[in-house]
Amino acid sequence: MADDASRKRTVRGRKIRASRAQKEGRKAKKELARTASSASKRNGDSPLSDPGDVIPEPFVETDAVEHLQERIAGWLEADQPVHLLGPTGCGKTALALSVAAERGRPVVWINGDDAVDTAALVGAHAGGERYKEHDQFVGGVSKQTEIVRERWVDNPLSVAVREGATLVYNEFSRSDPVAHNVLLSVFEEGVLERPGKRGEDRTIDVHPEFRAILTSNDVEYAGVHEQQDALLDRFVGVHVDYYDAETEREIVRAHVDLSDDDIATVVETTRALRDGLEIVVGTRAAITAAKGLAVFDGHDESGTFDDETLATVFTDVLAPKVAGEDGGDIDTLRSQISETI
């Protein structure tokens, strides 16, 4: 996006010749900056992000990850909104952002929760602007006119459909389904209606490059709303499950500085607990456990992590999932983890 430095005129001592490709590249960057700048003026802090700024760091690409990326990108190319579904901690958000970045279009991010309503998606009136005009046509006669103008602020969905951005709607199913009625006309008719907006600007024609990627946890998770069928029929659903052991090792290795043997132990333990416990044990849990093990060095004489250290670290990582639940007990969790290890 354009900053103050880019607006200053630079005087060069000589003319610099550039190839047509370089000129076209600079022209494209300037156009993107102008687009973002104009959206910022309309919306205060613009929700538009440069695609290069949203790539998850670090992000691991194995054959399994690339296969999912290509599948999602293919549906987007077919002009279909993609709904990524799967358990928590399996990497849906990182996957969505990586695919959005690959499109090369600006990215708009929305995080769903119960507070999201239609206005939070499309925009609303944000107070008014009041100013006075002073006219003095005849000497000694002064006329004052007070003008009040309502100020409308576009929110992420309006900006995304107008600018042809890639919308990444994280935790989509945590928002109230009523808020998503506006999406029906977007995906079916190519028009966004903005309730509360009057006049010709009440609707926005959807930009042909607009695309949407939504992520949701599986329906059995707490806080998840069942969305309306009329809207779900307009999505394609891609189920994202936990990756294979090789991919999980690569993901953990990208986040934590541990030996290959230690990373293998962490991932093997995570996958065993995932199969043995009734709670969700995601790849995120493996990363957290590895970070803990990097600090709490509990290697035995053979050079591997001893069982007690593994049990303690994984208990700490997974304890929040059972604390406060009916029947949930940390000692029971510790016992189950020790037995699995």
Q: What is the pLDDT of residue 258?
A: 92
Q: What is the pLDDT of residue 217?
A: 86
Residue in 150, 96, 145 with CA at minimum distance from that of residue 124:
150
Residue 197 burial (CB count, 10 A): 19
Cβ-defined contacts of 246-249 (< 8 Å, 24+): 246/62, 246/64, 247/60, 247/62, 247/64, 247/65, 248/283, 248/286
pLDDT higher at 59 or 297 = 59
SS3 state at 146 = strand
As a whole number of angstroms, the distance between CA 106 and CA 108 comes to 7
For helices 330-340 and 260-276, angle between their N-to-C axes, nearest 10 degrees: 120
Residues with Cβ < 8 Å from 42, sequence gap 6 or more? 153, 154, 159
pLDDT band at 265; cut points 50, 70, 90 = very high
Choose the weakest-confidence range: 23-27, 227-231, 238-242: 23-27
Q: Where are the beta strands (DSSP E) in 47-93?
A: 48-49, 82-86
Predicted confidence (pLDDT) at residue 85 exceeds the cutoff of 90: yes
Residue in 198, 127, 124, 125 with CA at minimum distance from that of residue 157:
124
CA-based angle 43:44:49, to the nearest 5?
75
pLDDT band at 195; cut points 50, 70, 90 = confident
Mean pLDDT comparison of 95-99, 130-134, 300-304, highest-scoring range: 95-99
Residue in 121, 112, 189, 196 with CA at minimum distance from that of residue 155:
121
Residue in 233, 191, 196, 229 with CA at minimum distance from that of residue 208:
191
For helices 283-295 and 307-318, angle between their N-to-C axes, nearest 10 degrees: 130
Choose the weakest-confidence range: 21-30, 49-58, 222-231: 21-30
DSSP labels, 12-60: -SSPPP--HHHHHHHHHHHHHHHHHHHHHHHHSS--EE-GGGSS-SS--
Torsion-angle region of 226 (φ positive above 0: left; ψ -120 to 50: alpha; else: beta): beta
Average pLDDT over residues 153-166: 92
| Average pLDDT of every residue of the chain | 80
Q: Are 313 and 289 contacting, i.e. CB atoms less than 8 angstroms apart?
A: yes
pLDDT higher at 147 or 98 = 98
Q: What is the pLDDT of residue 323?
A: 72
Structure tokens at 330: 């940390």
As a whole number of angstroms, the distance between CA 254 and CA 236 comes to 31
Q: What does the pLDDT look like over 99-127, one tens digit per residue?
A: 999 999 999 999 998 888 888 898 887 76
Predicted confidence (pLDDT) at residue 270 exceeds the cutoff of 50: yes
Residue in 56, 33, 47, 38 with CA at minimum distance from that of residue 102:
56
SS3 state at 8 = coil
**Burial environment of residue 263 by CB neighbours within 10 A (0 to 12, 13 to 18, 19 or more):** buried
Residue 38 burial (CB count, 10 A): 14
Q: What is the pLDDT of residue 135?
A: 61
pTM above 0.85, yes or no: no
pLDDT higher at 82 or 45 = 82
Q: What is the pLDDT of residue 38?
A: 43
